[in-house]
């Protein structure tokens, strides 16, 4: 099988696209740059929406990006089962695009927070977490000013009962409801996370350790099994 091709989307103001491409390479797949203004997904096998401040995060994080021409292609493809991971700003965009429920608002402490965060993997039934074990504790950096996950009670209940809370904070840094750090859609192909697994790939750089690699190796595992 030839290497899986993972699209890495760049919006104006995207920052972590080079990190995202590196993560894809580290896992043994081929990163394919995707430009927000294009309408062509270039036949990729999966898509990674990296972090950053698309459109400066002006108005609301992700609010303007969700209207990008590329999103017009991505949304139906994701609904049809294309694996999509959004981290940080990518998560915010996925929520704004209604591919994931809920919203991300200003941290309860009001400040931007960059720190190495302890997390628990709650679901391994998604395209992006199958390489972990359920309940596994990992340390992955977070860095955001608007990462407090909110949703109405009904949505929260549905997420919890459907096993769609993918990652939870151990020591809630931002006031997220139910300590939620990441969620998936019903099918499990679309995952959004505030933490940055692409910054936890190597011992030399980024946060401590390599705990983030599993998100990307999971994808390859999923695709081989598919």
Partner 1 sequence: MARAIVDVMLKPEILDPQGQAIARALPRLGFSGVSAVRQGKRFEIELDGPADEAALADIRKMAETLLANPVIEDFTVRVEGETAE
Partner 2 sequence: MIDSVGRAAETPQEPQPYAELGMKDDEYQRVRDILGRRPTSSELAIYSVMWSEHCSYKSSKVHLRQFGTKAPKSEALLVGMGENAGVVDIGDGWAATFKIESHNHPSYVEPHQGAATGVGGIVRDIMSMGARPVAVMDSLRFGAADAPDTRRVLPGVVEGISSYGNCLGLPNIGGEVVFDPCYIGNPLVNALCVGLLRKDQIKLATAPGPGNQVVLFGALTGPDGIGGASVLASATFEDESQAKRPSVQVGDPFMEKLLIECCLELFAADVVVGIQDLGAAGVACATTELAAKGTGGMDVRLDLVPLRDPRLRPEEILMSESQERMMAVVTPADIPAFMEICRKWDIPATVIGEVTDTGRLVMTWHGETIVDIEPGTAADEGPVYQRPYAEPAGQHALNADDPSRLARPGDLGATLLRLLGSPNLASKEWVTSQYDRYVRGNTVLAQPADAGVLRIGEVMPGASETVRGIALATDGNGRYARLDPYCGAQLALAESYRNVAVTGARPLAVTNCLNFGSPEDPEVMWQFAEAVRGLADACRALGVPVTGGNVSFYNQTGSAAINPTPVVGVLGVLDDVRRRVPHGFTGPDERVLLLGETTAEFGGSEWAHVEHGHLGGLPPRFQPEVERALATVLTEAAARGLLTGSHDLSDGGLAVALAESCLAHGVGATVSLPPGDDPFVALFSESASRALVTVRPESFDAFAALCGKHEVPCTTLGTTGGAALSIPGVLDIPVETLRTTHEGTLPALMA
158 binds partner 1 (CB under 8 A): no
Binding of partner 1 by 72 (CB under 8 A): no
Residue 76, interface with partner 1 (CB under 8 A)? Answer: no
When asked if residue 36 is in the footprint of partner 2 (CB under 8 A), the reply is no
- By CB under 8 A, residue 108 contacts partner 1: yes
* Candidate list 3, 5, 18, 172; residue touching partner 2; CB under 8 A: 18
Residue by residue, DSSP assigns 133-145 as: -TT-EEEEEEEES
Catalytic residues: 88, 196, 198
Give the residue among 97, 124, 135, 121 at the shortest CA–CA distance from 180: 121
- Least Cβ distance, residue 130 to partner 1 (angstroms): 29
- With b for 16 or more beta-carbon neighbours within 10 A and e for fewer, the 183-218 pattern comes to bbbeebbbbbbbbbbbbbbeeeebbeeebbbbbbbb
Binding residue for partner 1, selected from 59, 80, 204, 226, defined by CB under 8 A: 59
Rounded to the nearest whole angstrom, what is the least distance from the CB of residue 52 to partner 1 in the complex? 14
Contact (CB, 8 A) for 119 and 139: yes
- In the complex, what is the shortest distance from the CB of residue 56 to partner 2, in angstroms, rounded to a whole number? 3
User: Considering Cα of 71, then 176, then 210, then 219, what sign does the dihedral take?
Assistant: negative
Of residues 66 and 143, the one with the C-beta less far from partner 2: 143
**17-26 and 213-225 helices cross at what angle (nearest 10)?**
60
Among 77, 114, 139, 158, binds partner 2 (CB under 8 A): 114
If one counts every other C-beta atom within 10 angstroms of the C-beta of residue 118, the result is: 15
Q: Residue 77 is encoded by which pair of tokens?
A: 């493809």
Choose which of 3, 15, 63, 139 interacts with partner 1 (CB under 8 A). Answer: 63
Strand partners, 128: none
Positions touching partner 2 (CB under 8 A) are 12-13, 15-16, 18-19, 22, 52-53, 55-58, 111-115, 141, 143, 145, 196, 198-199, 201, 204-207
Interface contacts to partner 1, rule CB under 8 A = 55-56, 58-60, 63-64, 67, 95-96, 101-103, 105-110, 148, 150-152, 175
């Amino acid at each position: 099988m030839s290497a899986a091709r993972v699209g890495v989307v760049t919006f104006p103001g995207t920052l972590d696209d080079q990190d995202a491409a590196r993560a894809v390479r580290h896992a043994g797949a081929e990163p394919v740059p995707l430009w927000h203004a294009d309408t062509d997904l270039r036949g990729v096998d999966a898509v990674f929406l990296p972090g950053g401040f698309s459109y400066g995060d002006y108005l609301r994080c992700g609010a303007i990006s969700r209207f990008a021409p590329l999103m017009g292609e991505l949304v139906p493809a994701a609904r049809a089962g294309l694996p999509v991971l959004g981290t940080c700003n990518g998560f915010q965009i996925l929520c704004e695009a209604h591919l994931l429920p809920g919203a991300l608002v200003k941290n309860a402490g009001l400040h931007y927070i960059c720190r190495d965060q302890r997390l628990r993997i709650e679901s391994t039934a998604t395209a992006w977490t199958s390489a972990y074990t359920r309940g596994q504790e990992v340390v992955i950096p977070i860095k955001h000013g608007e990462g407090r996950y909110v949703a109405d009670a009904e949505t929260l209940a549905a997420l919890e009962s459907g096993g769609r809370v993918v990652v939870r904070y151990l020591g809630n840094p931002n006031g997220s409801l139910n300590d939620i750090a990441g969620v998936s859609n019903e099918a499990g192909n679309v995952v959004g996370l505030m933490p940055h697994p692409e910054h936890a790939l190597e011992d030399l750089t980024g946060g401590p350790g390599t705990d983030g690699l599993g998100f990307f190796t999971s994808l390859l595992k999923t695709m081989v099994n598919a």
